[in-house]
Amino acid sequence: MRAVFDEHGRRSLIPTGEPDAHFECDEVLVAVGQDNAFPWIERDIGIEFDKWGLPKLDEKTLQSTLPNVFFGGDAAFGPKNIIWAVAHGHEAAVSIDRMLNGEDLAVRPAPRTRLVPQKMGIHAWRYDNAISVDRRLRVPLRDISAALKNIKIEVELGFDPQLAAKEAQRCLNCDVQTVFTPKLCIECDACMDICPMDSISFTANGEENELRPRLRAPALNPSQDLYVSETLKTGRVMVKDEDVCLHCGLCAERCPTGAWDMQKFLLEMTHAGAGCRSAGTQTASA
């Protein structure tokens, strides 16, 4: 067998015609990997399968070539993780609901988003914004002598409550966003001075390839978007590089006019039911 890779990097094993190789062994340990297999689905009922043995699906609706059959999880696109499986279940449920109500499956209801201010006082927030410089904690392991004596015992002992809490403090609070209001900014540069990561710059605007190198922390990765404000009173713009922001909230604490705020981002996906239908969406937005 020889390995052949397609344009997406997926490997296929192609017979070379060479004779099978045989190896003398005292013992063989068979490592059985999990794979999708649908031999129990008749091939003449309308469900088509690709060369990998997976059902051909619409990636958005999860509908198969047999209109009333939907797939999700590992059965849809191969092994991924539980988060993808849950998401597939939600999307398939929306598709089924819309199909049963005679609506277009390809029209997907948009999710709702909200930004909720986190400020409770001058230096108080509804989230823990303390910066932790600790490196990732190692999971405690069982003594090696005990682990080698019994192959069935767990080697990793897991975190106790104290270590778990300490590890959780490393969270960057990515769901809490820095929100900038240009009309409130007096360009005192206090936020720029206090930022521990130099993620904020006040500078003259310009073309992106010319602007990136002259930020306080040059943002040389073009795939990482920058937040550029509208033109301020002095003709400058505020540029923020989210790639290095710690979401610590120091800019909002230092700002004398409240131009900076820390707001929690909430995403509310539309679930199957009246809210996912066109009529329900129109009623909700009316």
pLDDT tens digits, the chain, 286 residues: what are they? 788 888 888 888 888 888 888 889 888 776 655 667 788 888 899 999 988 888 999 999 999 999 999 999 988 988 888 999 999 999 999 999 999 999 999 988 888 888 888 887 766 777 777 777 788 889 999 998 888 888 888 899 999 999 998 888 888 788 888 999 999 999 999 999 999 999 999 999 999 999 999 999 999 998 888 999 999 999 999 999 988 898 888 999 899 999 999 999 998 888 888 888 885 444 444 3
pTM of the model as a whole: 0.62
Cβ–Cβ under 8 Å, residues 94 and 236 = no
Cβ–Cβ under 8 Å, residues 263 and 119 = no
Domains along the sequence of the chain with CATH: 51-107 (no CATH), 112-129+173-268 (3.30.70.20), 139-171 (no CATH)
For residue 35, the SS3 value is coil
Cβ–Cβ under 8 Å, residues 264 and 126 = yes
